[in-house]
Structure 1
Amino acid sequence: MTSAVGRVAEALRERVPPLTAIPLPRKVDERWLGASWPVRELAAPPAGSGLKPVLGDDGPPVVGHALEMMRFGLDFSLRRYEQYGPVSWLGGFGRRIVSLSGPEATQIALVNKDKAFSQEGWKFFIENFFERGLMLLDFGEHHLHRRIMQQAFTRERLTGYVGQMGPALREGVRSWPAGTSPRLYPALKQLTLDVATRVFMDMDADADAAKINRAFVSSVRAGTAIVRAPVPGGRWAAGLRGRRVLERYFGENLPAKRRADGDDLFAALCHATTEDGDRFSDVDIVNHMIFLMMAAHDTTTITSSAMAYYLAKHPEWQERARAESLALGDDVPDIAALDGLETLDLVMKEALRLVAPVPSMARKTTKDTEVLGHYLPAGTLVGVSPTLNHFSPEHWTDPHAFDPERFAEPRREDKSHRFAWMPFGGGAHKCIGLQFGGLEVKALMHEMLRVYRWSVPEAYTARWDYVSLPVPADGLPMRLEYR
């Protein structure tokens, strides 16, 4: 046995969070996940530090484990945890990436008390397409930009956004054909894009909106391109073109938004001012709008798709949620009414646990540091994974089961650890739009419940594709019937 392999065995004998006991939820292709690669140290710890090296492997030549991560998602992550524990590294996208999994490891990176982890990790994946978005800023600069942006997400502003999105969602949902089995994910994606252009930019769903929407989709998909160069016809090149389209659109429309104080998010950012008089520059607004549009519509689509799927698989929960929605009457619900849809709130939280819309969060170490006794040198690319936290048997009862009641009193399993449930991240970079996103998802599902009953065959199981963010690989075919 080599010394490296021996250290793996020793590390796995030590106590790690009991995610190692999680069974894989379904049969996976052993030709991919069962392959054995030479185990190596990321870097030797400083002499006398008492720290352990981070162990891992490069995976297949050139691509590393990138294709496996995209293909198998949760299954791949669980297998890596079984093999290496909460701190390990892997090859992917031409780099070595340290993976931090489980509540204890993720808390260290996201709370970031000694500022050892920066947002520089995101730049490797998405800076070319979402330059200087809020998620890519660090420390004092991030704090300042977040304070300004918070003015666009006050309760008063959220109330206005809900008033705009409600009619758009009602109109869009009613346009779907009942008595058919459409692929629900594309329909939801188009609807959330239309709502985003309406609420964020006060823009109707026309040819220009379609062009803007295509640009956003191209920019998002480019972040996980294997070929990270502008090769004609490739995703990277399409993402760069999309970014140019978005910059041009927001730049051309910004002066008018500065002059008029509208109710849309674009206008809100143009006029957002802190009590100290801090405001965004024109360049800041363009960068933040491009980032916020991406963050809003993708996560909303994934969450609503997961909710629709689980409500189809569990019709008793669909009927329970429908009863609450019908009790509101025929008016488009305001923000208070949406807050009162308790069953949808439970279902949404469980869907976010089972299908985290952002399964990994990138960081980069600013200096030599350690996580759970493992040495990470400065300049290390890090992936912080909330996914495994959501399936820890130490924190969740029967974690692979759909059980929204786990979020209700008195159980509140999400309170078992500060980072047991973290679909919105944590620490200083916790998602600023989480309330907006939750309101939009509940408003969308409310309209679906009012108009349709939907179902899937009993034997059907959705498979989530992780090429960029988790989406149903088959588009989520769903039987829609008028209720």
Structure 2
Amino acid sequence: MVSAVDRMTGSLRERMPPLTALPLPRTLDSRLLRKQWPATELAAPPPGSGLEPVLGDAGPPIIGHTLKQMRFGVEYGLRRYERYGPVWWSGAFGRRIVTLTGPEATQVALVNRDKAFSQEGWRFFIDRFFHRGLMLLDVGEHHTHRRIMQEAFTRDRLVGYVASMGPTLREGVRGWGGGAGTRLYWALKQLTLDVATRVFMDMRSGSDARQINRAFVDCVRAATAVIRYPVPGGRWRAGVKGRALLERYFAANLPAKRAGDGRDLFSALCHATTDDGERFTDADVINHMIFLMMAAHDTTTITSTAAAYYLAKHPEWQERVREESLALGDELPDIEALDRLESLELVIKESLRLVAPVPSMTRMAVKDTAVLGRYIPAGTLIGVSPSMNHFDPDHWTNPHTFDPERFDADRREDKSHRYAWMPFGGGAHKCIGMHFGMFETKALLHEMLRTYRWSVPRDYRVRWDYVSLPVPVDGLPMRLDRV
């Protein structure tokens, strides 16, 4: 007898585009991506439960699918989705990990009505480097810390942050020069790091800032290290040293921030107080600053890189959003001006769909549970995959096509399901800085649009590396011509 879950899985397979419709890498890579391993059950469901087992496979011995997942990212996930449906398991990072794909499965984990999923999953990957960051906290503690932190992201605070980032963005973009060969991703990464140190810490560029920036990069890369031990020359060890440096820096500067009245985020966290008088301890401020610096600059870098790429591939859209930016005049834009860049916001939202800056979110099953009729035992590491949701043909028209107008008021395909579009996460842990991120990305691309026209060769196609977060393998070489 065919179960309801199997019927649903079969329906999903029918709705997924065939392999030939998905973008494929080069021939050798294609063979590696297509290689399949025998399907097995994650765990036998309790007798009489009526549940089905989660199906999947461990992949190659020891490393499992770790390297394949890093190499192929979305392409890998879409093929697993096609084979196994919305709930499947794989071997990676020495663990069996269940991945939830599609809006319905995602909703179960992020709404978390029966409290079966905890943030413990994140701790497996990043706690050593981003200890007690907001995203790693659970339930009541998370709610308390979020209430306090919200005081650092009020509208008034955002106005100050936008005013602070404007000069850094304009100066940085103008300094790129022009011509062919600019590795845009690395130029944007340095610029967003400069903005983060300026806006978050009121720290000017220089050797100290470069050292701090390097420490953040090392911490991010260490989170997905295959060798999770501080061997000399390894990414894990670099991350451990980076975390120690950041702790020393914030601890040394915290007393002055407590005593002052600065407008930077570091100062805001030091002084944030709820109506009930709740405040962060010194240790809280240090932990949250390290986490927020990472979250802010990496996501903005990825989003602005993706948007710039799609604008290069679609020059008609580049001209449309440039006209909108030039209409603002030469003054540095404030929040109200950035809000008027409506076409640019459509492009950014579509870029967030096509290249989710955080392609996977992690949870831990803290008790036996089920998702869409599939049995998941306690202690299972869970991956929630926004990238897969962003390509679900049930919710998106021609999902592999760049089409910013799908977010226009007349269409709003992102409203087809609460979790169809979720670049900022969802549920209680939805990104607290999403409005800040949108303003920064708009401000950065606005400066690019008024300074350059940019292009890539007609046959160029970016390839993303998923070793940590999505990064263009070649740095995205771009031709910049001054407007």
TM-score normalised by L of structure 2 = 0.97
Q: Report the AA paired with residue 21 of structure 1.
A: P
Structure 1 segment 77-476 matched on structure 2, within 5 A: 77-476=77-476
Contact kept in structure 1, 2:220 and 2:468, CA below 8 Å: yes
Instruction: Find the residue that maps to 2:228 and give its secondary structure.
Output: coil
Instruction: Find the residue that maps to 1:180 and give its secondary structure.
Output: strand
Query: What is the CA distance between 1:12 and its match in structure 2?
Result: 7.4
**CA deviation string 1:349-377 (max 9, x = no partner):** 00000000000000001111100000011
Q: Report the AA paired with residue 80 of structure 2.
A: R
2:16 maps to 1:20: yes
Contact kept in structure 1, 2:10 and 2:85, CA below 8 Å: no
Counterpart Cα distance in 2 of 1:411 and 1:105:
24
Counterpart Cα distance in 2 of 1:55 and 1:13:
11
Q: Report the AA paired with residue 435 of structure 1.
A: H
Cα distance change, pair 88–316 in 1 and its aligned pair in 2 (3 A): same
Q: Report the AA paired with residue 25 of structure 1.
A: P
Counterpart Cα distance in 1 of 2:463 and 2:134:
31
Q: Report the AA paired with residue 359 of structure 2.
A: P
Contact kept in structure 1, 2:13 and 2:83, CA below 8 Å: no
Contact kept in structure 2, 1:261 and 1:267, CA below 8 Å: yes
Structure 1 segment 12-51 matched on structure 2, within 5 A: 14-16=10-12, 20-21=16-17, 23-27=21-25, 29-51=29-51
**CA deviation string 1:441-474 (max 9, x = no partner):** 0000000001100000000000111000001110
Identity percentage of aligned residues: 71
Counterpart Cα distance in 2 of 1:324 and 1:35:
47
Gaps of 5+ in 2: none
Contact kept in structure 2, 1:17 and 1:102, CA below 8 Å: no
Cα distance change, pair 416–230 in 1 and its aligned pair in 2 (3 A): same
Query: What is the CA distance between 1:393 and its match in structure 2?
Result: 1.0
Query: What is the CA distance between 1:21 and its match in structure 2?
Result: 3.1
Counterpart Cα distance in 1 of 2:383 and 2:124:
12
Query: What is the CA distance between 1:181 and its match in structure 2?
Result: 2.3
Contact kept in structure 1, 2:24 and 2:30, CA below 8 Å: no
Pairwise CA RMSD of aligned residues?
1.6
Contact kept in structure 2, 1:338 and 1:443, CA below 8 Å: yes
Instruction: Find the residue that maps to 1:181 and give its secondary structure.
Output: strand
Cα distance change, pair 17–337 in 1 and its aligned pair in 2 (3 A): farther
Counterpart Cα distance in 2 of 1:19 and 1:433:
34
Contact kept in structure 2, 1:18 and 1:392, CA below 8 Å: no
Counterpart Cα distance in 1 of 2:37 and 2:458:
39
Query: What is the CA distance between 1:30 and its match in structure 2?
Result: 3.7
Query: What is the CA distance between 1:13 and its match in structure 2?
Result: 6.0
TM-score normalised by L of structure 1 = 0.97
Cα distance change, pair 478–13 in 1 and its aligned pair in 2 (3 A): closer
Q: Report the AA paired with residue 132 of structure 2.
A: R
Query: What is the CA distance between 1:16 and its match in structure 2?
Result: 3.6
Contact kept in structure 2, 1:12 and 1:84, CA below 8 Å: no
Counterpart Cα distance in 1 of 2:15 and 2:142:
33
Instruction: Find the residue that maps to 1:478 and give its secondary structure.
Output: strand
Contact kept in structure 1, 2:116 and 2:365, CA below 8 Å: yes
**CA deviation string 1:246-288 (max 9, x = no partner):** 0000000000000001100000000000000000000000000
Count of matched residue pairs: 479
Counterpart Cα distance in 2 of 1:40 and 1:131:
35
4+ runs deviating over 6 angstroms: none
Contact kept in structure 1, 2:13 and 2:82, CA below 8 Å: no
Counterpart Cα distance in 1 of 2:114 and 2:197:
39
Query: What is the CA distance between 1:424 and its match in structure 2?
Result: 0.4
Query: What is the CA distance between 1:17 and its match in structure 2?
Result: 7.4
Query: What is the CA distance between 1:113 and its match in structure 2?
Result: 1.0
Aligned twin of 1:3? none
**CA deviation string 1:326-363 (max 9, x = no partner):** 11110000010001100110000000000000000000
